[in-house]
Amino acid sequence: MTEPVTPRRSGLRGFGHAGPSPWTDLDRPPLDAAALRHDLVVPGGLWTSLDVVTETGSTNSDLAARAREGAPQGAVLVAEQQNAGRGRLERQWTAPARSGLFLSVLLRPDGVPVERYGWLPILVGVAAASTLNRVAEVEVGLKWPNDLQVEIAGAERKIGGILTELGGGAVVAGLGLNVSLREAELPVPTAGSLALAGAAVTDRSILLRALLREFAGLYEEWTAAAGDPQASGLLPAYLDRCTTLGRQVRVHLPGDQELLGEAVAVDGDGRLVVRTPDGARRAVGAGDVVHVRPEPR
């Protein structure tokens, strides 16, 4: 998910606090939970419940608690604002109210071996990128493993990320997507948003409906293939969107180690294969990837 951002919390909380409330921004209307449920929670469909909360710490944490209580597959939790959201590598993730899509889904992939659960964040990434390409008309790529990237003013910028966690015999998959963040609200210069990328659609309701429908279709194919990334078509779809392959990369590994080389493949376990300068190949299952710009000639 995106790097930390300090929201502009100058809202009118009582006498003596000047400035507009973040909850009355006309460019950021609230989500209509009832309408979303009507369209998405349908008989025979993947989604079994859909809740929208005004504010929470982390949708992943909240949904993991429900999973431990036995909540069924298909629960969706959306927050208008998160104040303790988490990204990969335990990074904090927060954003202004109603400026993006902040959601988690609860999955119980029956018939899929646990060792293939690692493909779920990639599946979420492919669903998100496919939806945004089609609906928002923005070319979205995936930096390994699943950072959502767009190009703004000739530079790659991150607009969202995915975090999946095991708990209660289920998988909770969380997505954070910057939709309407303005330049002054971005956490770092390398962050971006759909609005800044010139998206044709920034209506969060439209994007959320399309995203959940796209994910449901891909998830059905993946579970029907017992989680096999090749047979389900997930691996080829990911490779088509991966912006890391063929690039020189610097991978920050656990234990303060670093790996330099060319990203040449993604293997059957979803690991990034890096060819080092001595010609050796190393598969990386966890790490923070930096795309290295070629040295000018």
Average pLDDT of 178-188? 94
Q: Give residue 23's pLDDT.
A: 56
Q: pLDDT (tens digit, 9 = 90+) per residue, 235-277?
A: 999 999 999 999 999 999 988 899 999 999 999 999 999 999 9
Q: Is residue 230 part of a domain?
A: yes
Asked if residue 147 and residue 262 are part of one domain, the reply reads: no
Task: Provide the residue range defining the domain that includes 168.
Answer: 22-240
Q: Which amino acid belongs to residue 200?
A: A
Asked if residue 125 and residue 52 are part of one domain, the reply reads: yes
Is the preceding omega at residue 296 within 30 degrees of 0, hence cis? no
Q: How confident is the model at residue 52 (pLDDT cuts 50, 70, 90)?
A: very high
Q: What percent of the chain has pLDDT over 70?
A: 87
Average pLDDT of 9-38? 66
- Where residue 277 sits, what CATH number does that domain have? 2.30.30.100
Domain count, the chain: 2
pTM, entire model: 0.88
Angle between helices 204-224 and 234-241 (to 10 degrees): 140
Asked if residue 216 and residue 287 are part of one domain, the reply reads: no
Asked if residue 267 and residue 169 are part of one domain, the reply reads: no
Residue 294 has pLDDT above 90, yes or no: no
Q: What percent of the chain has pLDDT over 90?
A: 81
Return d(Cα 273, Cα 147) in angstroms, integer.
17
Strand partners, 138: none
Q: Is residue 210 part of a domain?
A: yes
Residue 38 has pLDDT above 70, yes or no: yes
Backbone angles phi, psi at 39, to 5 degrees: -85, -25
Residue predicted with more confidence, 225 or 23: 225
Residue 11 has pLDDT above 60, yes or no: no
Average pLDDT of 204-228? 98
Strand partners, 101: 177
Q: Give residue 83's pLDDT.
A: 87
CB contact at 8 A, 163 and 87: yes
Start-to-end C-alpha separation, the chain: 34
Cβ density class 234-261: b for 16+ within 10 Å, e for less: bbebbeebbbbbebebebeeeeeeebeb
